[in-house]
Amino acid sequence: MEHGQHGSVIAATGGRDPVGATGRNGAGIRPVTADERTARAEANQGEPTLEFADRTPYDAYVHASTLHTLQQTLSKDPGEMSFLMVSQIMELYFGLTCFELRQARQRLGEDDVWAALGPLRRAALHLEGLNAAWRGLRWMTPADFNKFRDLLGEGSGFQSAMYRQLEFLLGLKTPSLIRPFRRQPAVYDALLDALHAPSLWDEVFRLLARRGFDIPTTLLDRDLTEPAEPSPEVERCWVEIYSDTGPDNQLRPLGEALSEISEQFGDWRYQHLKATQRTMGAKPGTGGSGGVAWLQRSMARTVFPELWSARTSM
pLDDT digits (tens, 9 = 90+) for 25-71: 555 688 999 999 999 999 999 899 889 888 999 999 999 999 999 99
Is 149 marked as binding a ligand?
A: yes
pLDDT tens per residue across span 123-167: 999 999 999 999 999 999 999 999 999 999 988 888 999 999 999
Which domains are seen in the chain, by residue range? Answer: 11-67 (no CATH), 83-313 (1.20.58.480)
pLDDT at 78 (0 to 100) = 96
Between the alpha carbon of residue 185 and those of residues 102, 177, 197, the distances in Å are: 22, 15, 18
Lowest-pLDDT range, 5-19, 93-107, 249-263, 287-301?
A: 5-19
10 Å CB burial of residue 114 (0-12, 13-18, 19+) is: exposed
Nearest 5°: phi and psi at 72? -115, 90
- Residues contacting 242, CB < 8 A, separation 6+: 252, 255, 310, 314
pLDDT at 22 (0 to 100) = 47
Q: How many helices (H) and strands (E) in the chain?
A: 14, 0
Is 286 marked as binding a ligand?
A: yes
The whole-model pTM stands at 0.88
Q: Name, of 11-25, 44-58, 198-212, the range with top average pLDDT.
A: 198-212
Between the alpha carbon of residue 72 and those of residues 84, 138, 155, 237, 286, the distances in Å are: 8, 21, 14, 50, 19
pLDDT at 19 (0 to 100) = 42
Distance CA 55, CA 290 (A): 48
- Residues contacting 198, CB < 8 A, separation 6+: 105, 206, 224
Q: Is residue 291 helix, strand or coil?
A: coil
Distance CA 138, CA 134 (A): 7
Sort residue 228 into left (φ over 0), alpha (ψ -120 to 50) or beta.
beta
Is 272 marked as binding a ligand?
A: yes
Rg of the chain taking only CA atoms, in angstroms: 24
Q: Is residue 45 helix, strand or coil?
A: coil
Distance CA 213, CA 243 (A): 14
